[in-house]
Chain A
Amino acid sequence: MRGLRKAYGAFEAVRGIDLDVARGEVFALLGPNGAGKTTTVEILEGYRERSAGEVDVLGYDPARQARALKQRIGIVLQSTGVERYLTVEETLDMYRGYFPDPLRTEDVLDVVGLREQRAVRVKRLSGGQQRRLDVGVGLIGNPELLFLDEPTTGFDPSARRQAWEMVRSLRALGKTVFLTTHYMDEAQYLADRVAIIARGQVVAEGPPAALMAGGDEVTSVRFRLPEGAQGWPDRVPEGVRSEDGTVVIETSTPTAVLFALTRWAVGQSLELGELTVTRPSLEDVYLRLVGADASSDGAGAGVGAASEAASRGRRRRRGGS
């Protein structure tokens, strides 16, 4: 995808996006609500025409060769959208008939874990089960490329775990997965590569680990200083001390800091309560990139809260080093 643009009247939802997704990888497009994620994906799926730019999906132009393309992709939309009075099995069979070279209904029932619910009508499924049926409908045509648009929005934690395991099993099947989400942990857990977009432009791209290493994020060492502690270890920054005695030290050399800190504590026979070491998460990267960007734009409440968290994080870091 090169220089992709989409304008709705005077509003440009997508403002020049370049992306490459390799076969067999799980790619996540991350961004806050209104960043242009869904617009981008719907252009790739053939639902919307682009205003400018080049798009190539499996060798097809989705705007001109929609039918040929749709035989080889699977689409899982945000909303469920299947006939509520058919059973799980009937639904899969119905969609199966639209494709030239589909998977077997039995196999898809296994992949999405709905074998026991095969004779249940869609309207009687739980929310998580309906979402898994959605993925099943997306898979039934044996697609080379599967689009998942916010697959776990509104899920409880255990349903999210199940959905994640299912996406991982798709990769094992050799499918390319194009995922959109606004959950950082989801992208971190599932994706081989991530692109973060905000206000219609890519602000960061790469494997989750590289994105986390690339920023100025540092590791946090957190503990509670016990009563009667004397002095302070050498070569350890003071960190930020809160009223309840919790200390947070942010450092780019956590090994040295931990060594000095624990040697000092053991020497005084102190036990550091609630000692934890936290690596920066993709969320920190994301909030830095997206939060700051969105707040300067005066965007909606959710994004505003995110940017507030990001600026809190910056203040904390400044205090700590």
Chain B
Amino acid sequence: MLTARLTKTLRGDAVTSFLLDVDLEVSPGITILFGPSGAGKSTLLDCIAGLTQPDTGQIAVNGQTFFASAKKINLPPQRRQVSYVFQSLALFPHMSAEANVTYGLSNLPEQERRARVFEILQMFRVEQLRTRKPREISGGEQQRVALARSLVTLPRVLLLDEPLTGLDAELKASIIDDLRIWNAAHKIPILYVTHSREEVDALGERVLALVHGKIVSEGTPREVLDAPRRKRLAQAAGFENLLSGTVLDLREEDGVMRVHLADGTPEIEVPLGHAAPGDRVRIAVRAGDILLGTEPPRGLSARNILEGKILSLERRGTLVAARVDCGVAFTVHVTLGAARTLRLAAEKRVWLVLKTHSCHFVED
């Protein structure tokens, strides 16, 4: 169990400096630290690893104190037995994969060292690359070697700072599986930093959302990311539509409230939030949660139907992102096939359908 309660002022200029102020417990297993870039995720990991000193607070693993400002304890990274895989991996470029993995085992007798290295290289499927230098192997293989290097020392905590950036989903999944298998046997707390929604879904388990230095929510990926309560988290979690509006009235018996977005646009119905009539609020809607029709829809359970006009279409991979003007502009994702069948084009008249519960009330 890793516990960290700390504050640290992150210095930038007068505008960008902010306070990292967290209190977290990480149990054995993978915990995801999710948040937009610049939220303080890497600094938090640096504090846990001992690369940066917090201003105040306390960090402990399994009862051993790594840092305690009150007692003036601050163990150097060498004595924490915390492993850390950076985004850049930081493999030693002048050493073979095997030498990289062996680096952290200098205190062991030769024979045991070899056995451990061989075992971990095999486990991460890179034993055939032993003699190669980092630049002679692929990105995915480098990531595997970096993981092997940080786990061969049998650390008490593993910190991963976006270690799988730039890999395709399949490769990511296979590396994550190997990591899970390793941890099934060793059961250490793993703190995994990412700002990729995909990785969060692939890793499952527990998520801590860090926004602007504070942990704003925690729970399962669904709880944290499907109902983001903060604007910056909503943006990071892939909510393409962030709308501002004014609360018209609350209908508590129906569990909804009506929000007026802009003049000339019908009000929309969203789940009840902490707001009073007249308050300015923000509503987040995923582009993929909006239905788009070319005729006025009828007989639907959805309460929010907005009429508008396509402003532009942009192909993104297998998706088409449509900008639609309904008094306010929405982004809507449709499949390539749908865009073809509906003959979507700029200037075309369309209707957007928003389910009440796809509209999320967010705070700034």
Chain A bound to chain B: no
Binding site for B on A (CB under 8 A): none
Using a CB–CB cutoff of 8 Å, the interface residues on chain B facing chain A are none
